[in-house]
Structure 1
Amino acid sequence: MEMNRWLIRLLTVLLVGGLLYIPSVSHAAGKPHGKDKEKTAYIDVAVATLWTAPGILRPVDAPSASNPVDIWQWKNDMSYEQQVQLSDDGMLETQALYGNKVHILEEKGDWVKVAVAGQPSPGDELGYTGWMPASQLVYNNKFDKKAEKPFVMVTSPTAFMYQTPSFRHKDVELSFNTKLPYLGETKHAYRVLKPDGKHAWIKKNDAAGYKSKQAIPAPTGEDLVATGKQFLGLHYLWAGMSGFGFDCSGFTFTMYQSHGITIPRDSSVQAKHGQPVDFAEMKPGDLLFFAHDQGKGNVHHVAMYAGNGMMIHSPNSKKDVEIIPVKTKGYIEELSGIRRYLPDHK
């Protein structure tokens, strides 16, 4: 039965010229392996939200599960209680950005379980996992072949793609840290490849071009803090991983990844890696971890040291990204450790 369904979709691919949407695949072992095209895909929306189970969306969540998505509307429409429910009920896992590669693990109706490449997780070697609508994924041979080649990365908090280099017709609004294959450039714009195989343009003022991920300049701690300051005032979003909203570890993860350094996705795991640092030896860019039971329990929060006794973080559903003293009441009592991820103590 699965083979018949696969053949039908393969014929569809040939008819429409190579554009492949998520195929029905069976994974007896529970995880895909290798680079089988039937088992990988790319995010086709500005930000894809991964859920802990399929079909648990509330009516207010509809803008996050469509194609295209409207993350601003989703955040604006949610009440504080609805925002808190996302974390208290354990509804979300993480998010993935436009063009991000995912491995397909399972299919259930209109939903697929995926592992996000580039988001390390101790639970799955392929990446952080979660459920998302299949309609938000696409596979295209041309994009796949160029995905690891020179790329353009969005450096503004959010930035529009445009259909022409004259910037007259807006396309998708992209998040910070979105990476797309480089196709060319004009004086003021980069030409990029979209996951569906089409091309678009991004203003050079909103992005940077690199020959490879290894070509991203090694940052200093001050660089990381300066990048984080772009998001001051951005409201928190549980599981958020984008310029539309971050959770605490999504914020620290993204600041590092945008500078070419990949750290674990969750604060509890971030707290176990890197180099331990004494409080008196903190430098900008170091990560501070906070735990229940006066710092002796489970880690529940992470912030980045900003220098001069201050830290920058995305705290909770009541607040926005902010800079506050490390010794702020309610935080300093729960400080459980400090970790450094920058090489050579930069």
Structure 2
Amino acid sequence: MTARDARLHAFRSDLADARLKGEVSADRFVTGRPARITASVADIRKAPRPDAGVNTQVLFGDDVLVFEEAEGWAWVQAERDGYVGYVGATMLGAREHAPTHIVAAPRTFLYPGPDLRFPISGQLSMGSTVTVTGAAETRGTHYALLPSGEALIAGHVRPLGDVAADYVAVAEQFLGTPYLWGGTSGFGIDCSGLVQLAMRMAGRNVLRDSDMQAAGLGEPLDPGPDYAGLKRGDLVFWKGHVAIMTDAETMIHANGHTMLVSREGLKDAVDRIGYLYGGPTGFRRP
């Protein structure tokens, strides 16, 4: 049988996605149950334990397929990027309303009603999808209303399908955001999460991890001596890391050096990173 990446295909020795029958070995095959993430951000973990490592995250409104639910944990696959892992079962709900809008600000607040003076009832990251059912105005501030009765600032969301023209400009909105291993949100993000979220807002869904992006995102690029052939939007890869060029000489990346999303000169980064991890492993143009 063909080897499958367990990050992107739901299979274990005892249980597997019914779509993989005949392709993987498992004691039992099941059809995934549709569900939707209802938490602001939900960690997808390597194992069904609170101390298990976080591989990635899914956001409010993301759709998943549930293959198993037991002892407070659900084994799921995110429909947007195919990532498989375990989330807390309390973070799942039904797909009751079709999403209409996406959060376009790096972070925003939910209010119990259309008034910014109310104590907040939650917070959402860029990339979260919501169902807007109405509008309201209070003291000149415009709000989008949700089926729950909650409200958020109308200027912080835009209709699905209304995409950004420049994914690099989206990434630049996250400057100063804390670095978080496995993070995919405006509350904390890692290097490949930054690429994925910024590109999503520009209308392009891409795979999650840096090795997946290095293998198939856009076209390979030879930048030539001193990297002179690079331009804004090109991607630079190291082993386990990716950065986005903002111009021919400067890049932006979520990194463990500053523990922030930061700008850095490419040549400075090559020297700094090379000391411990070697030089760039590849360049791609999305």
Classify the TM-score, shorter chain: 0.7 to 0.9
Contact between 1:97 and 1:242, CA under 8 Å: does it hold in 2? yes
Q: Give the Å deviation of 1:192.
A: 2.9
In 1, Cα distance between the equivalents of 2:258 and 2:170?
A: 23
Q: 1:340 to 1:286 in 2, by over 3 A?
A: same
Q: Give the TM-score normalised by structure 2.
A: 0.80
Contact between 1:93 and 1:129, CA under 8 Å: does it hold in 2? no
Query: Gaps spanning 5+ residues in structure 1: where?
Result: 1-27, 58-89, 120-126, 292-299, 342-346
Equivalent residue for 1:128?
A: 83
Percent of pairs identical after alignment?
A: 30
In 1, Cα distance between the equivalents of 2:149 and 2:63?
A: 18
Matched, 1:311 2:247: no
Match of 1:54 among 42, 48, 55: 48
Equivalent residue for 2:231?
A: 283
- What root-mean-square deviation, in Å, do the aligned CA atoms of Structure 1 and Structure 2 show? 2.4
Q: Give the Å deviation of 1:92.
A: 1.4
Equivalent residue for 2:204?
A: 261
In 1, Cα distance between the equivalents of 2:123 and 2:204?
A: 25
In 1, Cα distance between the equivalents of 2:167 and 2:108?
A: 20
Deviations 1:226-250 (A, max 9, x none): 2222221222111000001011101
Give 1 or 2: higher helix fraction.
1
Match of 1:164 among 113, 123, 138: 113
For 1:140-219, list aligned pairs within 5 A. 140=95, 142-143=96-97, 146-147=98-99, 151-169=100-118, 170-186=120-136, 188-193=142-147, 198-207=148-157, 209-210=158-159, 212-213=160-161, 215-217=162-164, 219=165
Contact between 2:40 and 2:59, CA under 8 Å: does it hold in 1? yes
Deviations 1:173-230 (A, max 9, x none): 111111112223245122234xxxx2422112322x22x43x425x2xxx32222222
In 2, Cα distance between the equivalents of 1:186 and 1:233?
A: 32
Q: Give the Å deviation of 1:29.
A: 6.0
In 1, Cα distance between the equivalents of 2:16 and 2:250?
A: 45
In 1, Cα distance between the equivalents of 2:18 and 2:256?
A: 35
Equivalent residue for 1:112?
A: 74
Matched, 1:43 2:48: no
Task: Supply the AA of the counterpart residue of 2:53.
Answer: M
Equivalent residue for 1:326?
A: 266
Equivalent residue for 1:30?
A: 16
Contact between 1:32 and 1:104, CA under 8 Å: does it hold in 2? no
In 2, Cα distance between the equivalents of 1:153 and 1:37?
A: 28
Contact between 1:114 and 1:129, CA under 8 Å: does it hold in 2? yes
Task: Supply the AA of the counterpart residue of 1:335.
Answer: P
Q: Give the Å deviation of 1:311.
A: 0.5
Q: Give the Å deviation of 1:112.
A: 0.8
Q: Give the Å deviation of 1:53.
A: 0.4
Query: Gaps spanning 5+ residues in structure 2: where?
Result: 1-13, 20-29
Q: Give the Å deviation of 1:108.
A: 2.7
Q: Give the Å deviation of 1:317.
A: 6.9
In 1, Cα distance between the equivalents of 2:177 and 2:68?
A: 34
Task: Supply the AA of the counterpart residue of 1:334.
Answer: G
Q: Give the Å deviation of 1:166.
A: 2.5
Task: Supply the AA of the counterpart residue of 2:34.
Answer: T
In 1, Cα distance between the equivalents of 2:253 and 2:32?
A: 39
Q: Which moved more, 1:307-316 or 1:278-287?
A: 278-287
In 2, Cα distance between the equivalents of 1:106 and 1:312?
A: 39
Equivalent residue for 1:97?
A: 59
Q: 1:38 to 1:287 in 2, by over 3 A?
A: closer
For residue 255 of structure 2, give the secondary structure of its aligned residue in structure 1: coil
Equivalent residue for 2:193?
A: 250
In 2, Cα distance between the equivalents of 1:38 and 1:319?
A: 37
In 2, Cα distance between the equivalents of 1:239 and 1:325?
A: 24
Matched, 1:139 2:81: no
Matched, 1:270 2:218: no
In 2, Cα distance between the equivalents of 1:315 and 1:108?
A: 35
In 1, Cα distance between the equivalents of 2:190 and 2:265?
A: 19
In 2, Cα distance between the equivalents of 1:200 and 1:320?
A: 31
Q: 1:200 to 1:268 in 2, by over 3 A?
A: same
Task: Supply the AA of the counterpart residue of 2:33.
Answer: K
Matched, 1:337 2:282: yes
